[in-house]
Amino acid sequence: MEQNILLGVRDLRVSFRLDKHSKLPPFEAVKGVSFDIPINSTVALVGESGSGKSVTSLAILGLLPPENSLVLPGSQILYGGRNLLTLSNTELRALRGKDISMIFQEPMSSLNPVFTVGYQIAEVLRLHMGLSPRQARARVLELLDEVGIPDPAAKSAAYPFQLSGGQQQRVMIAMAIACNPKLLIADEPTTALDVTIQKQILELLAALQDKHRMSVLFITHDLAVVGEIADQVVVMRNGEIRENGATDAVFRNPRDAYTQALLKCRPPLEQRPQRLAVIEDFMNTATPPPEPAQRTRGLSGNEPIILEVSHLGKSFYSREGLFGRVTTFLPCRSISSRTTSAASRLFFKIPMPRSTRVSRWGRFFRSLY
């Protein structure tokens, strides 16, 4: 393997047996995939749903389900002169988190709901870096600060459900970078977040990559994100690589018909078609796609109001202090048109609101609570 290559995937083949008693042949999810991740660079793995992106990344970390998956002979994942596919579970556990770490799409399902976030980050530090509890506690605060969590001391004592989605993802990132890994695998880390938070998280990842000089394998189906952050792009479809190269070159001059279709499918900013283009519109080059009819932009002003929210408020009980004093904070105060997840949870009665006026189709909904 070349000097500047951190990790090399060679002819990776992964099959799944769908049912123990089935006579059907195993399903081949990844069919001989090869690509390199250079040192200190971001490689984007893109492709439609089911193309084998997550299976490839789970294979790198040895996290495929042992009960029904099979990595076929001849597959190699080369890292530090070793084929990771031949390592024992103990060797893999030592490598995960320390050399290679991963963040997932859904932070809430990756964080343990019964431990505070500070405890969970500290555990990584104690396990891999051998820090004492006191050292780990101090480092947790530094890490939370580095990933942009406000008031790290208070937030480290919070449980995952007490944080917003963006904050939970920042906690996952803090855990992932805690041991200065050489490779961070980010599997669609921003798809569960709204666009502004998405941008902040992408900027954070780019800044951390630069600062820690780590490589990032960024899995996404969002080509706009690829253009922003990736040095190289690997395009997958049906378990195979369709194109692989420097992002600029692939975006300017895609050679593969599927990559060309993928790029043409990007929703136009300046138009509002009745129907968004799909890959198949561009794969069949014999018949060019019909010019899509346009929708009119904006509202006429005569649309009926279906939901109106005013004076919605909620305070969360956060800490019981000296002499039973309770401190509270307000995540939403007199929200009117904007809906946050806290606000929408209030509307659906989870949990009780402090004060609310919600009306729908003219009916006053306070009685719901």
Ligand X SMILES: Nc1ncnc2c1ncn2[C@@H]1O[C@H](COP(=O)(O)OP(=O)(O)OP(=O)(O)O)[C@@H](O)[C@H]1O
* Distance separating alpha carbons of residues 36 and 52, to the nearest angstrom: 16
CA nearest 84: which of 69, 103, 65, 99?
99
Q: Are strands 42-46 and 232-237 parallel, antiparallel or unpaired?
A: parallel
- Which one of the spans 50-58, 118-126, 225-233, 276-284 is the region binding ligand X (CB under 6 A)? 50-58
Is 291 within 8 Å of 310 (Cβ atoms)? no
Residue 49 within binding range of ligand X, rule CB under 6 A: yes
- Judged by the rule CB under 5 A, the positions of this chain that interact with Mg ion are 54
**Quick check: 150 binds ligand X (CB under 6 A)?**
no
Residue 233 interacts with ligand X (CB under 6 A): yes or no: no
Q: Which residues contact 44 (CB under 8 A, 6 or more apart)?
A: 218, 219, 220, 225, 226, 229, 230, 232, 233, 234, 247
Our CB check for ligand X shows the closer of 9 and 140 to be 9
- 298 near ligand X, judged by CB under 6 A: no
**CB 65 to ligand X: min, Å:** 5
Question: Pick from 15, 41, 51, 198: which binds ligand X (CB under 6 A)?
Answer: 51
Q: Which does 16 bind (CB under 5 to 8 A by kind): ligand X, Mg ion, none?
A: ligand X
Which stretch in 47-55, 144-152, 201-209, 226-234 sits in contact with ligand X by CB under 6 A?
Answer: 47-55
**Stretch in the footprint of ligand X (CB under 6 A) among 31-39, 45-53, 142-150, 193-201:** 45-53
Dihedral over alpha carbons 65, 67, 68, 71 (to 10 degrees): 60
Minimum distance, C-beta of residue 301 to Mg ion, in the bound complex (Å): 42
Query: Do you find a cis peptide bond into 351, omega within 30 degrees of 0?
Result: yes
- Cβ distance 331 to 344 under 8 Å? no
**Which residues here bind ligand X, judged by CB under 6 A?**
16, 18, 27, 29, 47, 49-55, 65, 68, 221
